[in-house]
Amino acid sequence: MQHAEFVRSAKSRQRYWARNFVGWTQFSCHQPNSAHRVLQQWEERGKLHWLVTQNVDALHSKAGQKRLTELHGCTHRVICLGCGAISAREELQRRFVSLNPDWGTQAGAVAPDGDVFLEDEQVLHFRVPSCDVCGGILKPEVTFFGDSVKKGTVQFVHDRLAESDAVLVVGSSLQVYSGYRFLLAASDRKMPVAIVNIGTTRADHLAELKVIGRCGDVLSVIHPL
């Protein structure tokens, strides 16, 4: 979803939220895997200073991670574009059900962000609530395409990087600049970089160590659960 389109078009918002509504129950039930759990245990033992994730699925939070920055936000939170009020996505789901008691449709597979594919005619009568504080537009508290990460968040992560000894990349290709920038900053600081990923990443040339494999398998060998 393009940020500008979401803000500009009520029909685009209707289509987005209808698809998200259908996929939410399955998406929100996802649970942390072994990689999430190992990283949380590293935090508990003082080995992990700060975790930065580009994922928006809340799985690190579900694993108990506290020293965490969700760089692109989180789909489990909803923000009002009018007054800035933050609310729980689960509460919005209840409002969707209340507003659309007779609405139902069939959908295909659920995407990683909770989206599903629906035909335009399937969403024509889907009703979308407004902010119950100011009547403004509700949006997932995530960074859509065409939007950018808040400057304050970027600076906060740079500050945590400056406090760290090294950088470990786990399960990211780093194709998106919002995350890759911190690897460039680590390189400028002459900080050691290690990468665990199945395929190539944008920062392979910056890494002193690269392990190719599934994150859960690799981290569980390093730190058995």
**Separation between Cα atoms, residue 39 and residue 66, nearest integer Å:** 11
Residue pair 6/130 in contact (Cβ under 8 Å)? The answer is no
Residue pair 55/63 in contact (Cβ under 8 Å)? The answer is no
Residue pair 164/49 in contact (Cβ under 8 Å)? The answer is yes
- Count CA atoms within 13 Å of residue 126 on its CB side: 26
Residue pair 198/213 in contact (Cβ under 8 Å)? The answer is yes
- What tens digit of pLDDT does each residue of 76-114 get? 999 999 999 999 999 999 999 999 988 766 556 667 666
Q: Give the torsion sign (CA, 37, 38, 42, 44).
A: positive
Which residues does the annotation mark as catalytic? Answer: 72
For residue 187, CA distances in Å to 161, 162, 164, 194, 212 come to 11, 12, 13, 12, 21
**Separation between Cα atoms, residue 197 and residue 175, nearest integer Å:** 13
Listed in sequence order, the residues at least 6 apart from 200 whose beta carbon sits closer than 8 Å to its beta carbon are: 173
**Separation between Cα atoms, residue 195 and residue 183, nearest integer Å:** 11
Listed in sequence order, the residues at least 6 apart from 138 whose beta carbon sits closer than 8 Å to its beta carbon are: 78, 79, 80, 81, 87, 92, 128, 129, 130, 131
- What tens digit of pLDDT does each residue of 161-183 get? 999 999 999 999 999 999 999 99
- What tens digit of pLDDT does each residue of 182-197 get? 999 999 999 999 999 9
Mean pLDDT score, 53-67: 97
**Separation between Cα atoms, residue 139 and residue 145, nearest integer Å:** 13
Residue pair 169/196 in contact (Cβ under 8 Å)? The answer is yes
83 annotated to bind ligand = yes
Predicted pLDDT at 107: 55
- Reported residue count of the chain is 225
Listed in sequence order, the residues at least 6 apart from 163 whose beta carbon sits closer than 8 Å to its beta carbon are: 49, 50
134 annotated to bind ligand = yes
- What tens digit of pLDDT does each residue of 1-20 get? 899 999 999 999 999 999 99
Domain ranges in the chain are 3-32+50-148
